[in-house]
Amino acid sequence: MKETVSKSWFLPEEDNRHQYNFEFMDLLPLGSYTFSSRLILGTGKYSDIRTMLDAVRASGAELVTVALRRFNREQMEDDLFGPLSEIGGITLMPNTSGASSAAEAVRAAHIARELSGSPFVKVEIHPNPQHLMPDPIETFEASKILAGEGFIVMPYISADPVLAKRLEEVGCASVMPLGSAIGSGQGLKTSGMLDLIIRESTVPVIVDAGLRSPGEAAAAMEMGCAAVLVNSAIAAAGDPVAMAGAFSLGVVAGRRAFTAGLMPKSGHAIATSPLTSFLGKEP
C-alpha cells in the first residue's frame, strides 16, 4: 500500500522563507579584482580542447590558468589563447611552470603579461620533476619582484605558514599552498598546516594541487580556504565536464558551510532528543 503524507507537514509552496538565497554576494577579492566563483581551473592534461572548454564552462570558473610553451606547428591545438578568449567572463592567470629560478619566472611573467594582457601571475617554480615541490627561496624572490612591478601575484607554495606570511608581507594577492603533490590526487595531506596558514593570513588562501574529489574541495572551503585551484582531478576524471560541475557544487557547499559557521566539536555525545520523561520513566 502506498504511503501518503499530509501536505500540511510541509511549508506552503508560496512560502519561501526557508529557501536558501543562492544569489547572495560573497565575492572573492584578488588584488583589485573580485570574482563570484571560488573555483579556479587549470587547463592542462585534457584529452582535447573541446572537453577543456566545456569543463571550464561547466565549472563556472572565472579565473583560469595557462602555461607558456614554444609554438609548434605540429601541435597547433596546443594554442589555447584563441579558444579561451571565446568564453566570456574568463580572466587568464598564466603560470611560470618550467621556470627553475626566480629570474626565469620573472621573465616568463613578463612574456605572459605581454601575451594575455592579464595582471595575474601564478608563480610556480619547481625545479625537481620527480616531486614538483615548489622552491621556497626562488618563489619568494620572484614574487617579491613581480608584486613590486604591479602584478597580482599568486604564489604556489608548500604549506608553510612562515613562508606564506613573508609572501603576504611583500605584496602577494594570495598564497596558494598545496594540499598534496601536484597531480597526485592525495587530497588534503597538509590540512594541519593549511589551518595555521588560514588563521594567520590576511590575504586569501587558495589550496592549489593534490585535490581529487569535490568532497575534498568542500572540506578545504569549510576550513576557511578562500578558493581552490583544480586541474588533474577534473581533466583526468571519467567525465571531465560532469566532474567540473561537481567541483563547482562542492566549492559552493563548502563556502556556504564556512560562512554559516560549523558547530563546535565535542569530545563526548550530546543528545539531540530528550532522554528523560520517556514512557513512564521518572523525570
For 263, which DSSP code?
Answer: P
Tell me the C-alpha distance between 208 and 181, whole Å. 9
Q: Is 144 a catalytic residue?
A: no
Grid cell, residue 244, equals 567540473
**Min CB(122)–other proteins separation in Å:** 9
Tell me the C-alpha distance between 162 and 200, whole Å. 9
**Contact yes or no for 234/214 (Cβ under 8 A):** no
Give the Å distances, CA to CA, from 214 to 29, 124, 272: 22, 24, 29
User: Considering the rule CB under 8 A, would residue 86 count as an interface residue with other proteins?
Assistant: no
Q: Which residues contact 242 (CB under 8 A, 6 or more apart)?
A: 58
Tell how far CA 117 is from the center of its chain: 22
User: Considering the rule CB under 8 A, would residue 220 count as an interface residue with other proteins?
Assistant: no
Residues that bind other proteins (rule: CB under 8 A) add up to a total of 39
Using CB under 8 A, pick the residue from 54, 100, 101, 107 that binds other proteins.
Answer: 107
Grid cell, residue 119, equals 595582471
Task: List the catalytic residue out of 7, 45, 122, 265.
Answer: 122
Work out whether strand 206-208 and strand 176-177 pair parallel, antiparallel, or are unpaired: unpaired
Q: What is the dihedral angle through the alpha carbons of 218, 207, 233, 100, rounded to the nearest 10 degrees?
A: 180
Of 3-11, 107-115, 170-178, 252-260: span binding other proteins (CB under 8 A): 107-115
Three-state DSSP at 257 gives: helix
Three-state DSSP at 134 gives: coil
User: Considering the rule CB under 8 A, would residue 52 count as an interface residue with other proteins?
Assistant: yes
Nearer to other proteins (CB atom), residue 133 or residue 196: 133
Of 147-186, which residues contact other proteins (CB under 8 A)?
182-183
Nearer to other proteins (CB atom), residue 114 or residue 282: 114
User: Considering the rule CB under 8 A, would residue 231 count as an interface residue with other proteins?
Assistant: yes
User: Considering the rule CB under 8 A, would residue 201 count as an interface residue with other proteins?
Assistant: no
User: Considering the rule CB under 8 A, would residue 43 count as an interface residue with other proteins?
Assistant: yes
The CB-based long-range contact list for 267-270 (8 Å cut-off, 24+ gap) reads none
Give the Å distances, CA to CA, from 121 to 16, 129, 166, 283: 43, 21, 18, 66
Using CB under 8 A, pick the residue from 12, 13, 82, 88 that binds other proteins.
Answer: 82
User: Considering the rule CB under 8 A, would residue 200 count as an interface residue with other proteins?
Assistant: no
**Contact yes or no for 220/207 (Cβ under 8 A):** yes
User: Considering the rule CB under 8 A, would residue 57 count as an interface residue with other proteins?
Assistant: no
Using CB under 8 A, pick the residue from 80, 145, 207, 217 that binds other proteins.
Answer: 80
User: Considering the rule CB under 8 A, would residue 111 count as an interface residue with other proteins?
Assistant: yes
User: Considering the rule CB under 8 A, would residue 278 count as an interface residue with other proteins?
Assistant: no
User: Considering the rule CB under 8 A, would residue 131 count as an interface residue with other proteins?
Assistant: no
Using CB under 8 A, pick the residue from 30, 39, 58, 66 that binds other proteins.
Answer: 66
Task: Give contact residues for other proteins (rule: CB under 8 A).
Answer: 42-46, 52, 65-73, 76, 78-82, 84, 92, 94-95, 97, 107, 110-112, 114-116, 182-183, 209, 229, 231-232
Name the residues annotated as catalytic: 122
